[in-house]
């Protein structure tokens, strides 16, 4: 309803004190408050009713009105019961901030105004939006009449002449208007998708209210976040409130966004209402897709637990045979697999970021070339603690020597997501990714996991907000160790290190730390003794005891190398 309609309702007892030019503003709600700062309870579009109990002197009016204007309040109605007439300083402050001001006669209860506004707003919203929202909801349902968000975006084009695209936080095009047939337009280039996602994340990090408007080239876009969990965005004339709270950083990295080729700053409230209704419907579709990932997440979690606990390869292979038909329906033979590890780190937050890394990795690894209604069914992502682990099936791996690198390449992955996610992590966050080589059996899966984790640690040593490394960059013993069978590892390390561990337990001799320091100092007696704060003779005694217990000679390169590998594998 319009402010003008309130003024024309005699039963409400309202008298206009200022803001005659703003009477066509739309009232979306009503709130009664006498708080000095009610901003936390405002979402925009409200008529605020106040008895002025917050006012102690004339200086209080300016900050109170400024807070209301910044929150997107459409008008202030001040009661006359407390102070008699409305103070002149309040009239001046409202005029300065272009906030319409009404006086409420002392004979009229605020409850009467509240009931009238709620009844009118509810009725108008139901009449104006019910048909449109219901039409779009039918289009979002599954089945022959459905079609998902693509159909909704086509309707925006046909009904409102709006071109819009649905993007992931990583800049992937989730859905868009048709690109062929009558009324079709050009596709949105991948570079532009990434730029729009970056602009949205950068704006969201600053806490600016949406929709965020950005001009790229000669075109203006309005960016609407798609809240996960089906949460309805609260809006007003100032737009949509940004998320707040300790998890705001992570929630924005999980949001899709709707990019509309238009300047929403010029829109009437009715059109904003419709677009926000559309974002809520798309949020329902997002929740549906997330629910569909539950099975794949569970499969990945089961495989990850088996691999990490050293389960027999036959048991892991059986679990993979269950997973393969779910991830690649119709595939005749067991696929090859790759492992991708991701970790999100925030300054001041040491752990617990596994879920946001999982959500990001699912978005990053969706293959844009995949066909079908749900391309994300080609991956399975689990999380443990502060990292996410993806099992990526490969239907076929090129024959050795044909020149084509199979599967996911770290460089290509990084190039696709670096710009938008760097904007979202700017200031206090990092994303690091590690990619393994392709393996063709359960026996190789543990090695692939360790290889991906080591590649991620290599990426973490590099500068930048978003970094990735692949198995091609690992050119040391680290590349070989993950593929050593578990029984061989255990036998090798036990033979060399168990005598030293037993001796340390009995005598508290610290032979293992001494051995690690000695090898780390390249066998230098002086540097090692200095590091351990020991006399050189004491160090010589300990090294002699190590050689006596193991039958090895630490002056020989071969024995040094054996000890080094045993320590790395233990």
Tens of pLDDT along 396-433?
655 444 444 567 888 888 888 888 888 778 777 888 99
- The alpha carbon of residue 216 and the mean position of all alpha carbons in its chain are separated, in whole angstroms, by 24
- What is the tens place of the pLDDT at every residue in 354-392? 788 888 888 888 754 444 444 445 678 888 878 999 888
Q: Report the alpha-carbon distance of residue 264 to residue 222 in Å, rounded.
A: 6
Give the 3-state secondary structure of residue 9.
coil
Sheet arrangement for strand 164-167: 173-175, 164-167, 256-260, 219-226, 212-216
The residues with which 474 forms a beta bridge, in sequence order, are none
Tell me what the mean pLDDT of segment 232-236 comes to. Answer: 39
Q: Report the alpha-carbon distance of residue 421 to residue 205 in Å, rounded.
A: 12
Least confident of 53-62, 116-125, 511-520, 523-532: 116-125
The residues with which 165 forms a beta bridge, in sequence order, are 259
Instruction: Single out the residue of 188, 275, 196, 285 nearest to residue 240, CA to CA.
Output: 275
- What is the tens place of the pLDDT at every residue in 316-341? 888 887 777 776 666 555 578 889 99
Predicted confidence band of residue 145 (pLDDT cuts 50, 70, 90) = very low
Kindly state the helix (H) or strand (E) to which residue 276 belongs, with its residue range: helix 269-292
Predicted confidence band of residue 168 (pLDDT cuts 50, 70, 90) = confident
- The alpha carbon of residue 311 and the mean position of all alpha carbons in its chain are separated, in whole angstroms, by 33
Give the 3-state secondary structure of residue 548.
helix
What distances in angstroms separate CA 217 from CA 192, 195, 255, one per listed residue?
A: 11, 12, 25
Q: Report the alpha-carbon distance of residue 461 to residue 184 in Å, rounded.
A: 46
- Contact (CB, 8 A) for 346 and 432: no
Least confident of 5-14, 117-126, 205-214: 117-126
pLDDT of residue 281: 78
What distances in angstroms separate CA 395 from CA 300, 373, 424, 467, 567, one per listed residue?
A: 17, 19, 33, 27, 37
pLDDT at residue 128 greater than cutoff 50: no
Cβ atoms within 10 Å, residue 234? 15
Structure tokens at 30: 């009503």
3-state helix, strand, coil in the chain (%, to 5): 50, 15, 35
Q: Report the alpha-carbon distance of residue 74 to residue 330 in Å, rounded.
A: 58
HSE-CB at 428 with a 13 A cutoff on CA atoms is 10
pLDDT at residue 499 greater than cutoff 90: yes
Q: Report the alpha-carbon distance of residue 223 to residue 263 in Å, rounded.
A: 10
Least confident of 125-129, 133-137, 154-158, 320-324: 125-129
pLDDT of residue 522: 87
């Amino acid at each position: 309803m319009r402010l003008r309609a309130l003024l024309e309702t005699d039963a409400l007892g309202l008298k206009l004190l200022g803001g005659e030019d703003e009477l066509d503003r739309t009232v979306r709600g009503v709130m009664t408050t006498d708080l000095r700062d009610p901003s936390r309870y405002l979402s925009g579009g409200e008529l605020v009713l106040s008895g002025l109990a917050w006012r102690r002197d004339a200086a209080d009016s300016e900050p109170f009105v400024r807070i209301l204007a910044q929150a997107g309040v459409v008008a202030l109605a001040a009661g006359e019961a407390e102070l008699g007439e409305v103070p002149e300083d309040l009239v001046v402050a409202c005029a300065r901030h272009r906030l319409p001001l009404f006086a409420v006669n002392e004979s009229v209860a605020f409850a009467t105004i509240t009931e009238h506004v709620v009844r009118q707003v509810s009725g108008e919203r139901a009449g104006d939006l019910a048909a449109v929202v219901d039409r779009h909801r039918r289009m979002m349902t599954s089945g022959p009449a459905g079609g998902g968000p693509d159909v909704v975006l086509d309707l925006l084009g046909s009904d409102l002449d709006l071109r819009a695209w649905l993007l992931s936080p990583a800049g992937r095009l989730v859905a868009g208007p048709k690109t062929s047939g009558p009324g079709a337009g050009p596709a949105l280039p991948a570079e532009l998708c990434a730029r729009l996602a970056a602009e949205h994340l950068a704006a969201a990090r600053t806490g600016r209210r949406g929709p965020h408007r950005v001009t790229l080239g000669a075109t203006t876009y309005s960016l609407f976040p798609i809240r996960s969990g089906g949460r309805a965005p609260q809006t007003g004339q100032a737009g949509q409130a940004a998320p707040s709270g300790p998890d705001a950083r992570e929630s924005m990295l999980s949001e899709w966004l709707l990019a509309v080729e238009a300047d929403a700053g010029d829109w009437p409230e009715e059109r904003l209402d419709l677009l926000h209704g559309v974002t809520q419907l798309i949020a329902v579709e997002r929740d549906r897709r997330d629910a569909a990932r539950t099975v794949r997440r569970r499969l990945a979690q089961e495989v990850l637990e088996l691999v990490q606990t050293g389960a027999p390869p036959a048991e892991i292979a059986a679990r993979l045979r269950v997973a393969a038909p779910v991830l690649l329906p119709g595939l005749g033979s067991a696929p090859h697999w790759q492992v991708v590890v991701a970790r999100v780190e925030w300054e001041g937050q040491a752990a617990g970021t596994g879920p946001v890394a999982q959500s990001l990795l699912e978005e990053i690894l969706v293959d844009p070339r995949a066909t079908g209604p749900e391309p994300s069914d080609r991956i399975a992502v689990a999380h443990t603690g502060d990292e996410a682990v993806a099992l990526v099936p490969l239907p076929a791996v090129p024959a050795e020597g044909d020149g084509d690198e199979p599967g996911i390449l770290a460089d290509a992955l990084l190039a696709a997501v670096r710009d938008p996610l760097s904007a979202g992590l700017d200031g206090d966050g990092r994303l690091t990714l590690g990619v393994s080589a392709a393996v063709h059996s359960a026996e190789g899966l543990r090695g692939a996991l360790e290889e991906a984790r080591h590649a991620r640690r290599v990426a973490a040593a590099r500068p930048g907000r978003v970094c990735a490394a692949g198995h091609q960059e690992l050119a040391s013993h680290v590349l070989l160790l993950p593929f050593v069978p578990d029984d061989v590892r255990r036998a090798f390390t036990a033979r060399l290190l168990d005598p030293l561990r037993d001796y340390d337990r009995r005598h508290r001799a610290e032979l293992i730390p001494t051995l690690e320091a000695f090898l780390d100092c390249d066998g230098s007696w002086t540097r090692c003794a200095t590091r351990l704060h020991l006399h050189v003779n004491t160090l010589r005694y300990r090294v002699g005891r190590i050689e006596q217990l193991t039958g090895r000679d630490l002056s020989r390169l071969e024995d040094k190398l054996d000890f080094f590998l045993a320590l790395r594998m233990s």
